[in-house]
Structures are given as structure tokens and as C-alpha cells.
């Protein structure tokens, strides 16, 4: 995939449309699932539950084949307009061999998740050109104003070009005033690294790479970024969007680097246009990035300009 390539996009949502719920990774409580469904219903959407979303198999929400079956079914179900993941955690990578890519390609739909879902977001774009969405899931706090606004604006109005900015009270920061264009890829740093050396390895050449993380000490972030440097994933991309690094800056102690110093040493020294402190990741509020979409990293205006429709 590259700039100018033909991509697949799903139909935008309308109030009253049906959202299909799948659980590709870890187990979620029935209480939290029902709470999330209630929030979506209050926003005016109908819900169709995946057959296996309440399953439990070890630490997974069902067997690999069953979790994949729910995804395959939601893409072929004519009543479902969007596929939304319950939560992340761990397990998404295990179901990739069981996905029916032909069914997904022939039935493009909005697909959204984050964290462990990172591997699936990028895989569906890379293999089939499907624009996917790094954004809130069923267990996210969709009642937060900025998160809810981002959710609705992307899904109801994504058939036109638009710009993404942080909430006014949370400043974006950049290392330059230059602007670059490219297709956006990325997500959770741990999952990006987990893809290396596999058939599902992330492609960053000429892309804008988005990175976020949660609950990792600075030295672990350093280790993962160094792995991406050694595999030339950082050198090959055009620029960076750095999202939320939630709970990643341990109390400062003698002879330890801060997260800020790690970012400066591993990313900013590459002198590529970079937007930092973007509200997308494991914290709140949660903004949405369309993975695979052609975008302009507007470092002067501190915005991410989406240059093509992400829904039809």
C-alpha cells in the first residue's frame, strides 16, 4: 500500500444503524459489556452481539477460531454497518490465521478498536486496503464529551475531508512547522514490535507512524523503540504522531532517563516532523485515527488533516 493507492471504506453510520460487537482478545465482564451496549443504544444505535462475546477460554474471550468466526460473520451480516471490539488485553494476534479476508474485502465496513487490536487494524489495511479506526471500544467511556464527539463525527460524517485536533485545553506539541503527507499506520508500541519478523509485520515506509503505550517504564519504551530503530521502521517513515503514554513515566530516580528523554533520544533525533501529546490511546478523552487514511501532518497548525473520505 502506498500514497495514491485505492482503498476500501465502509458506509458511514446513521442513527438507527446496527453495530456488531466482537471480542477478539481478553475477557470482559458481562456487566461492562451490557453497560457499553447501553451507552451505544442511548446514542441511537441498534446492537448485534457476536455469538462468542461472553465465552471464556483461559485468558481469552473464547477459542481463537470462535473469536475469528464472530468477526467474519459480522462482516458478512447485511444488517451490520460497523464492527466494534469489546476490549483489548491480549489474544488478537492469535486469531489472524482464521480470518476470512475474502469475506472482509467483499463487505468493507467500519472496524474500530485499539490497544491489542492494533495488529488487526494494520493487517486489514495492509492486506485488503480497508481503512480501519484506532478509537474507543465498547468498554471505553463514551459518555466523556470529547470521546463521544469524536466517535460520532468520525462515523456519521466521515464521508468528507476533516481535521483532527486536541481538545482546546490540551496542547499538541511539535518539533517543527513543516508539513508532510502519508498514510497513517500504527497504534500500541508493544503490538507494533510484536509484529516484527512475522507475516503480519507493520509497514512504515513512506507512512506516518502513530505510537501510544500504557503501563511501561521508560526503559521498556526505550527497548521497544530501539528494536524499531534496528529494524529501520522508524527511519523509513515520514513522520510521527505520539499519542498518550499512560502511566509510562515512573518517579524520577538517580541515573534514570525520563520518558521525555527517551523520546528525544530515540525519535526526535531522527529530525522527522512529529506531533506529540495527541489524545489517542489508553487515557481519556480518546480521539480517533483512521488507520490507512491519507493524511497531512500539519505541524504548523498542530492538526492532522484527513485528505480523503474514510467512509462513504
Catalytic residues: 115, 212, 282
> Using one digit for the tens of pLDDT, what is the confidence trace for 259-292?
999 999 999 999 999 999 999 999 999 999 999 9
Q: How far apart are CA 166 and CA 127, in angstroms?
A: 30
Is the per-residue pLDDT at 2 higher than 60?
no
Strand spans (E) along the chain: 18-22, 46-49, 80-85, 110-113, 132-134, 162-164, 173-174, 179-188, 207-214, 239-246, 274-276, 289-291, 294-298, 303-306
Checking DSSP bridges between strand 303-306 and strand 162-164, what pairing results, if any? Answer: antiparallel
> Using one digit for the tens of pLDDT, what is the confidence trace for 19-33?
999 999 999 999 999
Q: How far apart are CA 61 and CA 50, in angstroms?
A: 11
Q: At what angle do helices 259-266 and 218-230 cross, to 10 degrees?
A: 10
Please, which residues bridge with residue 80 across strands?
A: 18
pTM of the model: 0.95
DSSP state of 13: P
Is the per-residue pLDDT at 4 higher than 60?
no
3-state SS assignment for residue 211: strand
Q: pLDDT value at position 255?
A: 66
> Using one digit for the tens of pLDDT, what is the confidence trace for 218-235?
999 999 999 999 999 999
* CA dihedral (236, 242, 245, 248) positive or negative: positive
Q: Which of 90-99, 159-168, 176-185 has the lowest mean pLDDT?
A: 159-168
| List of domains in the chain | 18-157 (3.40.50.10740), 162-306 (3.50.30.60)
Is the per-residue pLDDT at 10 higher than 60?
yes
Is the per-residue pLDDT at 3 higher than 50?
no
* Cβ–Cβ < 8 Å for 83, 111: yes
CA 185 from chain centre, in angstroms, equals 8
Please, which residues bridge with residue 49 across strands?
A: 21
Is the per-residue pLDDT at 1 higher than 60?
no
DSSP 218-278: HHHHHHHHHHHHHTTHHHHSSEEEEEEEET--PPP-TT---HHHHHHHHTGGG---EEES-
Is the per-residue pLDDT at 154 higher than 90?
no
Which candidate, 119, 109, 99, 77, places its Cα nearest to that of 8? 109
Cell readout for 179 is 508539513
Task: Give the percent of the chain with pLDDT over 90.
Answer: 91
> Using one digit for the tens of pLDDT, what is the confidence trace for 88-98?
999 999 999 99
Mean pLDDT of the chain: 94
Task: Give the percent of the chain with pLDDT over 70.
Answer: 96
Question: Which pLDDT band, with edges at 50, 70 and 90, does 158 fall under?
Answer: confident
Amino acid at each position: 500500500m502506498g500514497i495514491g493507492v485505492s482503498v476500501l471504506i465502509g458506509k458511514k453510520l446513521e442513527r438507527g444503524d446496527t453495530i456488531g460487537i466482537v471480542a477478539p482478545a481478553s475477557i470482559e465482564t458481562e456487566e461492562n459489556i451490557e453497560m457499553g451496549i447501553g451507552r451505544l443504544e442511548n446514542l441511537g444505535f441498534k446492537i448485534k452481539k457476536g455469538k462468542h462475546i461472553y465465552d471464556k477460554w483461559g485468558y481469552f474471550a473464547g477459542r481463537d477460531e470462535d473469536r475469528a468466526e464472530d468477526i467474519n460473520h459480522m462482516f458478512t451480516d447485511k444488517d451490520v454497518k460497523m464492527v466494534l471490539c469489546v476490549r483489548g488485553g491480549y489474544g488478537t494476534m492469535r486469531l489472524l490465521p482464521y480470518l476470512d479476508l475474502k469475506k472482509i474485502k467483499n463487505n468493507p465496513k467500519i472496524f474500530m478498536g485499539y490497544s491489542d487490536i492494533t495488529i488487526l487494524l494494520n493487517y486489514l489495511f495492509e492486506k485488503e486496503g480497508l481503512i480501519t479506526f484506532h478509537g474507543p471500544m465498547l468498554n471505553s467511556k463514551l459518555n466523556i464529551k470529547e470521546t463521544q464527539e469524536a466517535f460520532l463525527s468520525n462515523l456519521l460524517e466521515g464521508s468528507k475531508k476533516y481535521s483532527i485536533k486536541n481538545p482546546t485545553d490540551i496542547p499538541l506539541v511539535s518539533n517543527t512547522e513543516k508539513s508532510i503527507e502519508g498514510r497513517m499506520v500504527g497504534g500500541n508500541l508493544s503490538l507494533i514490535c510484536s509484529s516484527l519478523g512475522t507475516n503480519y509485520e507493520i509497514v512504515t515506509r513512506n507512512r506516518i507512524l502513530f505510537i501510544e503505550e500504557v503501563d511501561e517504564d521508560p526503559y521498556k519504551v526505550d527497548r521497544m523503540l530501539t528494536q524499531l530503530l534496528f529494524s529501520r521502521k522508524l527511519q523509513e517513515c515520514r513522520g510521527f504522531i505520539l499519542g498518550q503514554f499512560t502511566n509510562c513515566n515512573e518517579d524520577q530516580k538517580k541515573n534514570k532517563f525520563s520518558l521525555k528523554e527517551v523520546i528525544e533520544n530515540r525519535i526526535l533525533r531522527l529530525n522527522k516532523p512529529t506531533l506529540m501529546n495527541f489524545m489517542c490511546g489508553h487515557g481519556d478523552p480518546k480521539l480517533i485515527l483512521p488507520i490507512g487514511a491519507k493524511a497531512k501532518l500539519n505541524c504548523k497548525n498542530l492538526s492532522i488533516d484527513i485528505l480523503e473520505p474514510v467512509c462513504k
